[in-house]
Structure 1
Amino acid sequence: MTKLEKAMQLAQANLGRSVVRINATAQQEQFQKQKEYSIFGVKNTEDIPDSLINKLRQNEHFLFLTIDKMADLGRSVDIDLVNPLTYRCMTGSTSGGCVNILKGITDLCIGTDGGGSVLAPALSTNLYSFMGKGVGLMLKNGSLSTDGLPFAPGVGVISTRLNPIRKAIQALTGRAFTKTNESIRIMTPASGCMMLPTGEDAHTVLQPILSQLPKQFIIQEHTFADCYNRTALVEEINRLIAADVADLFLTLEGPIDVYSYDETIPKKFEGPLPETLCANASKSFVKAVNICGCSGFTIPHSRLATGFVVTCPCGWEKADMGYTLACELEKLVSLPAIFEKYFINREKYVTPNRFK
């Protein structure tokens, strides 16, 4: 069975769930591709222009297969899909794309990010991602976040590794990431200012990784006033960028949407229940990257639904620095072997009964 045949079988089995539509001409298009092509899906939103998707579709290294489910109304929690790793509601709004990658339908997906809708779903499923607003991958239509912040969505790519993302970004922008040998100033949260939903200090969990980074990376700490208040955090990030005190910001975030759901909508209701539903904030910089006009990478940690967030101020120079750091982080953290077996190598693939 070919790669495409297996992907199409799985896509058919998931129609009406994580898959909205299947490209009817995929089998014909495969003959125009290189032998080792990547299969991709696109978020079910009209905001992504065909001209952008066609850059991938016409590239000999990529084959378009699925329109992927988006969380209803673009919400940051998708009440229709279950996260295959955490058994909780899937993080949105680029939700179906991540599920389809873990199911082995696609190798990567294209999504949009207003306040974390690419970066957060990738974190919640231990996948890699890049959101490229800071390098011009953005949509023209503006909107308001649920907490009243204006933004124009960015476009991003999610995959199982950094290399497919690098190739996709080159196809979409015409420019490839370039590793730099220059010194890179990285700002991380100081001790005590960013607590994870587990009750641990993010600073403490980050230290073993930071200590292994090459000397090229100059680590500096900053006490953020409120890492989980998006309005305050956006203002603080913008202030720090304007002061040019760092090249990149690095945080560890998660587990995403496990202990409770980090969404604004329930918080707008009265009574004690919203505090119960949303008691453990799990999204910090992921909700602010796009609104600050930055680009961002996520790199999965070996912890469940947890990963690194690399925030890159606007421009290709900073994005290249972010890619340099992301590549180092990719070397330092390995995911559990069972994750690789089930979701990357798909060793447990079983042909759906309807196709026997």
Structure 2
Amino acid sequence: MKKMSDLEKKYINALHSSSKAVVYHNHKIKDKFKKLSKSKNDNYLLGVKNTSQISKELVDKLTEDQTFLLHTIDKMARGGRAVDPELINPLTMRIMTGSSSGGCLNILEGINDLALGTDGGGSVLAPAAATSLYSLMAKGMGIQGNCSRISTDNLEFRPGIGFISHDFKICTLALKKLLSEKELALAEKSNLDELTVALPETETVILPHGEDMAALTAEIEVELSDYQVNRIKLAGSEKRKKAIEIIKKTFNEGNEIIITAEGPIDYYGYGDSVAGSFKIADFSQKKSGKYLMRAANLVNATAISIPTDRLGVALILLARPGIKSGFKVIKLAEKLAKNYKRPELFTRYFLENYRKSENNFLGADNFDQYFK
């Protein structure tokens, strides 16, 4: 039996997927695999959110050197909604978090390595956190959508563009493909000396599963010992307008990065402005586990989610707008991510399960022989 490459296995996974998460599968990509197999360079399969906010020029730039290959168009929650009732989160068995919903599922199903999404009020950070994936929303570094729009709770904004992956290094690699040489040069100048970080004050936010947010962020405080750490009150931050107010105040006070712990995302209740507009649903909205992540794009921050060892719970890092601050939060995230390891069963079931494709009938050369 011919041994399949990882690219071929992911292609086969998309081919026989019955999930609505795949809007379109690029069959032509298979013709490139043979040539790429002779290259020593790494290649990654890319899914792009089905939205006009992501320009063709941006995708062309990202895929120009074939490090990233456009593989699928991924489902977006209808109307950019914060939940997607048409998809199920295979990790939590709840309705999938939106609106970059399809991209996350296509990573968990072994179809893609990277999802390109848009974030208006948490639509990259939240679904990534809900599925224990990494994300990098780069609005603060100038990576944004084509035009302004109105959010589900009547706030005008331009969406940020973000990256979701099973590996944070893939997110940063994709970002660097979109930045200019001048912007990339600032990475070397963006050290973490004299960094000021804001953490949640104790007992101002109790997460839906009963844990104090401050107790969770305390687990990474040893990694922050070289920096100035300030405490901020986050009471009421489940409300988007209050979250915006808190972030702006914290940045204005001289803090460059804010770190929270948020979740379990959409596990005990759904954070959805549409349903939340009804009085009885407000209680459920408060249990969604979403706090500052819902406001990161609206303050033009660069924001990152790092999965933890708790189901649907992530560290959320927000940096002030600007390229240098963006690179600083990336460097800090790389440092903090080493503190958390997702359960081995999660890795084996979701991130490695696609390798079993060669045991399926469509594996090996059967597709070429019978269905090409």
* Aligned counterpart for 2:341 among listed residues 334, 337, 345: 334
Check whether the contact 1:40–1:63 (CA below 8 A) recurs between aligned residues: yes
Q: Distance in 2 between matches of 1:67 and 1:347?
A: 19
Matched, 1:3 2:6: yes
Aligned residue for 2:85, secondary structure, equals: strand
- The normalised TM-score by structure 2 is 0.89
Query: How do 1:239-318 and structure 2 match up within 5 A?
Result: 239-243=249-253, 245-270=254-279, 272=280, 274-275=281-282, 277-318=284-325
Corresponding residue SS for 1:291: helix
Tell me by how many angstroms 1:93 deviates: 0.5
Secondary structure, aligned partner of 2:326: helix
Which of 115, 120, 124 is the equivalent residue of 1:109? 115
Quote the Cα distance in structure 2 between the aligned partners of 1:87 and 1:172: 35
Question: Which of 73, 95, 111 matches 1:89?
Answer: 95
Task: Calculate percent identity across the aligned residue pairs.
Answer: 34
Determine whether 1:73 maps to 2:79: yes
Alignment partner for residue 166 of structure 2, among 128, 141, 160?
A: 160
- 1:181/1:204 Cα in 2 relative to 1: closer, same or farther (>3 Å)? closer
Matched, 1:325 2:332: yes
- Segment drifting more, 11-20 vs 175-184: 175-184
Pair 340,301 (structure 1): closer, same or farther in 2 beyond 3 Å:
same
Q: Deviation per CA, 1:306-352: give whole Å up to 9, x if none.
A: 11000011001111110121011111111111111112233773455
**1:59–1:289 distance in 2 versus 1, CA, 3 Å:** same
Backbone CA RMSD of aligned residues: 1.9
Give yes or no for contact 2:205–2:235 (8 Å, CA) kept in 1. no
Give the structure with the larger helix fraction.
Answer: 2
Contact kept, 8 Å, 1:341 with 1:348, in 2: the verdict is no
When residues 267 and 315 of structure 1 are mapped into structure 2, their CA distance, relative to the original with a 3 A threshold, is: same
**Post-superposition CA distance 1:171-223 (Å, at most 9, x none):** 0223445562412111011011112111221001221221x205333221111
2:237 pairs with 1:227: yes
Indicate whether 1:186 and 2:194 are aligned: no
Q: Alpha-carbon deviation of 1:64?
A: 1.2
Which whole-Å CA distance do the structure 2 matches of 1:187 and 1:121 have between them?
Answer: 24
Partner of 1:21: 24
Normalization by structure 1: what TM-score?
0.93
CA distance in 1, matches of 2:352, 2:227: 33
> Structure 1 stretch 32-41 or stretch 127-136: which is displaced more?
32-41
Which region of structure 1 is more displaced relative to structure 2, 342-351 or 46-55?
A: 342-351
Report the number of matched residues.
Answer: 352
Find the aligned partners of 1:34 and 1:26 in 2 and give their Cα distance. Answer: 19
Distance, in Å, in 2 between the alignment partners of 1:354 and 1:320 is 43
Aligned to 1:207: 218
Q: Deviations over 1:125-147 (max 9, x none)?
A: 11111001111001231112222
Give 1:227 shift. 1.3
Code of the aligned partner of 2:22: V
Equivalent-residue separation in structure 2 for 1:319 and 1:160 (angstroms): 20
Equivalent in the alignment of 1:237: 247
1:238–1:8 distance in 2 versus 1, CA, 3 Å:
same
Supply the distance in 1 between the matched residues of 2:338 and 2:362 (Cα, whole angstroms). 41
Question: 2 CA distance for matches of 1:135 and 1:142?
Answer: 17
Whole-Å Cα distance in 2 between the matches of residues 333 and 279 of structure 1? 26
Q: 2: CA distance between counterparts of 1:224 and 1:279?
A: 14
Question: Runs in 1 of length 4+ with deviation above 6 angstroms?
Answer: none
CA distance in 2, matches of 1:57, 1:13: 24
Letter in 1 for 2:92: T
Which segments of 5 or more consecutive residues in structure 2 lack a partner in the other structure?
A: 367-372
